[in-house]
């Protein structure tokens, strides 16, 4: 048993180092772009979350707090707590919430897989693209489930399979420039870890949830108003950083040039857009 536990601990530490380090800093610096990145997806997610005025909401992997603030505005007689690994993103979330005059919202730096949430304290747990990175997803969702009252709702937005997401496949292939790509991770924390419906259903069922359902969402993903901004945003993503780090200086420069051309080709009157597909997953605590 010790070896799997040690592996999970290493994965947790790696995720914390990334999100409370370069990923958090990058997403804070470009918070306006990332808030707009998946706006059409977010509109569908907000409708599915259906936060009621009295609800107590827990937002997992809240980032810079857009979804937590949305929940707080809906829960006018309730509350919203956002948790994330990134201190920088949470400070940004607090600052924006204060500026917007939201008094029923709070934020806490925490690992949702391990954090001792008060039992049964929440009516709804939500997560928009923040629940795919757990080292032990059954343990994590079990912990989140214990924070919900019996019958409490869970609403997640997660990416569908990589091959259904142009923003991932096309950018990876463009950076590679015809060279062989390292295989994407098949298991463990990664953006597409909950893409398979059977896998996601099995995890949530094992974690104590029932009535697991999936809604298909296909909306564009926004990377900025123009190619210059989009290059900076996309270049700072971990997936891009990892690919570029495996190249020598000349090859990396050529790869960024190809990336810029790709992003320019995707520029529209509404900004730089890529096709994207996600699931809205809903379930209830037993």
* pLDDT for 6 beyond 80: no
* CA–CA dist 79, 65 (Å, integer): 14
* pLDDT for 1 beyond 50: no
Mean pLDDT over residues 128-142, rounded? 96
Strand-pair partners of 217 = 278
Report the 10 Å Cβ neighbour count for 186.
Answer: 8
Residue 180: per-residue pLDDT: 84
Q: What DSSP element (H or E) covers 43?
A: helix 39-49
Residue 2: per-residue pLDDT: 46
Mean pLDDT over residues 266-270, rounded? 97
Q: Which domain holds residue 24?
A: 2-162+185-222+274-285
Name the region of 268 (left: φ>0; alpha: ψ -120 to 50; beta: rest). Answer: beta
Residue 22: per-residue pLDDT: 92
CA 49 vs CA 42, 73, 136: distances in Å:
10, 13, 24
Contact predicate 124/93, CB 8 Å: no
Residue 38: per-residue pLDDT: 87
Express each pLDDT in 220-250 by its tens digit.
Answer: 999 999 999 999 999 999 999 999 998 999 9
CATH of the domain at 203: 3.40.50.150
What domain count does the chain have? 1
Residue 246: per-residue pLDDT: 87
Report the 10 Å Cβ neighbour count for 269.
Answer: 5
Residue 150: per-residue pLDDT: 97
Tokens at 199, concatenated? 């896998």
Strand-pair partners of 210 = 284
Identify whether 51 is part of a domain: yes
Report the 10 Å Cβ neighbour count for 124.
Answer: 24
Chain-centre distance for alpha carbon 238: 13
For the entire predicted model, the pTM comes to: 0.93
Residue 10: per-residue pLDDT: 53
Identify whether 240 is part of a domain: no
Identify whether 228 is part of a domain: no
Identify whether 34 is part of a domain: yes
* CA–CA dist 285, 145 (Å, integer): 6
């Amino acid at each position: 048993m010790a070896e799997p536990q040690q592996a999970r601990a290493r994965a947790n530490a790696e995720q914390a180092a990334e999100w409370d380090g370069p990923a958090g800093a990058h997403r804070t610096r470009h918070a306006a772009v990332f808030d707009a990145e998946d706006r059409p997806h977010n509109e569908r997610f907000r409708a599915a979350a259906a936060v009621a005025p009295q609800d107590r909401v827990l937002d997992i992997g809240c980032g810079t707090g857009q979804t937590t603030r949305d929940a707080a505005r809906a829960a006018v007689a309730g509350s919203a707590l956002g948790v994330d690994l990134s201190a920088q993103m949470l400070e940004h979330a607090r600052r924006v919430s204060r500026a917007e005059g939201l008094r029923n919202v709070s934020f806490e730096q925490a690992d949702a897989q391990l954090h001792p949430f008060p039992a049964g304290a929440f009516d709804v747990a939500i997560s928009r693209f923040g629940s795919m990175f757990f080292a032990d997803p059954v343990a994590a969702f079990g912990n989140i489930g214990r924070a919900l009252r019996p019958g409490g709702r869970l609403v997640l937005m997660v990416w569908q399979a990589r091959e259904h997401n142009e923003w991932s496949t096309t950018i990876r292939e463009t950076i590679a420039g015809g060279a062989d790509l390292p295989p994407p991770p098949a298991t463990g924390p990664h953006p597409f870890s909950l893409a398979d419906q059977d896998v996601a259903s099995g995890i949530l069922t094992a974690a104590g949830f029932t009535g697991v359902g999936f809604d298909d969402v296909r909306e564009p993903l926004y990377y900025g108003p123009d190619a210059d901004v989009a290059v900076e945003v996309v270049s700072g993503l971990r997936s891009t950083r990892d690919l570029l780090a495996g190249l020598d200086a000349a090859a990396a420069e050529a790869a960024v040039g190809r990336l810029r051309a790709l992003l320019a080709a995707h520029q529209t009157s509404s900004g730089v857009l890529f096709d994207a597909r996600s699931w809205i997953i809903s379930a209830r605590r037993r």
